[in-house]
Homo-oligomer: A and B are copies of this chain.
Amino acid sequence: MNDRPLILITNDDGIYAKGLKELTEVMRLFGDVVVIAPEAAMSGMSNAITTGKPLRASKIEEEDGYILYKCSGTPVDCVKMGFNQLLERKPDFVVSGINHGTNSSISVVYSGTMGAAIEGCLHGVSSIGFSLCDYDPDADFTRAKMWVARIFQSVAEYGLPHFTCLNVNIPKGEVRGIEVCRQTSGKWVEEMEKRTDPHQRDYYWLSGYFKNFEPDVPGTDMHALENQHVSVVPVTVDMTCNKTLEQMKNWRF
């Protein structure tokens, strides 16, 4: 019997993204790999699931220790398909990415890459979302892959607590080290660009820029990245704000 770890890989940039191929290459060093990736680009899909229509999945490639499926759904759907239908046994790790572009700060909330990692840890499996801070579809992942390998090996060694996954962002260019840190407080602003189509009807493109509410604050993921460190944020699925919970106990409804 095969005793190599089984690693489920997905992403949100879709089956043809370079980042997915690069991540697969790294993970094959460490275990048997099943990739289940969205057939379409699923950036910004967060933890979305497909409920109103059924899902499809097809095997695209298979060789020793490696299977590739495409799936019609979201990144979270891909993980659910893996656990419930496509994998022969429960995987030992769920790894998502490598995303083309950052998922630091509040982007964790919108990210399909992180949606998949969150879903993995909900299934009781150590899960990591990896992103490279470079939106270029042809980005150079050479340096990033070394850090992916290093962080993956640490997770394999130490394990992660239940219902906690990692949000790992890798800076573009030189990397000085790894920093375990917290999610920066920030948001996306001025996000819509209005245009008029040839039929004089309005349409809107989502766009905008990121506003950091705590610039230059050590211990935040943005600060780590700005100082050319890989940011590693442990992410919980428990969204309760305990501080507010205590305050609200005094409310008279």
User: Which chain A residues have a beta carbon within 8 Å of chain B's beta carbons?
Assistant: 41, 43-52, 54-57, 74, 76-77, 80-81, 84-85, 106, 108-110, 115, 118, 122-123, 150-151, 154, 158, 160-161, 163-164, 178, 180-183, 185, 187, 190-192, 194-195, 201-206, 232-245, 247-249, 251-253
Contact = CB atoms under 8 A, between A and B. Distances in A.
Contacts of A182: 238, 240, 242, 245
Nearest to A118: B109
Contacts of A164: 241, 244
Q: Is the interface of A mostly helix, strand, loop or mixed?
A: mixed
Contact of A51 (B44, B74, B158, B187): B44
A84 B41 CA distance: 25
A243 B195 CA distance: 46
B44 A48 contact: yes
Contacts of A154: 251-253
A202 B46 CA distance: 26
A206 B43 contact: no
A50 B44 contact: yes
Nearest to A54: B203
A124 to B, nearest CB: 9
A239 B235 contact: yes
A241 B232 CA distance: 11
B251 A180 contact: yes
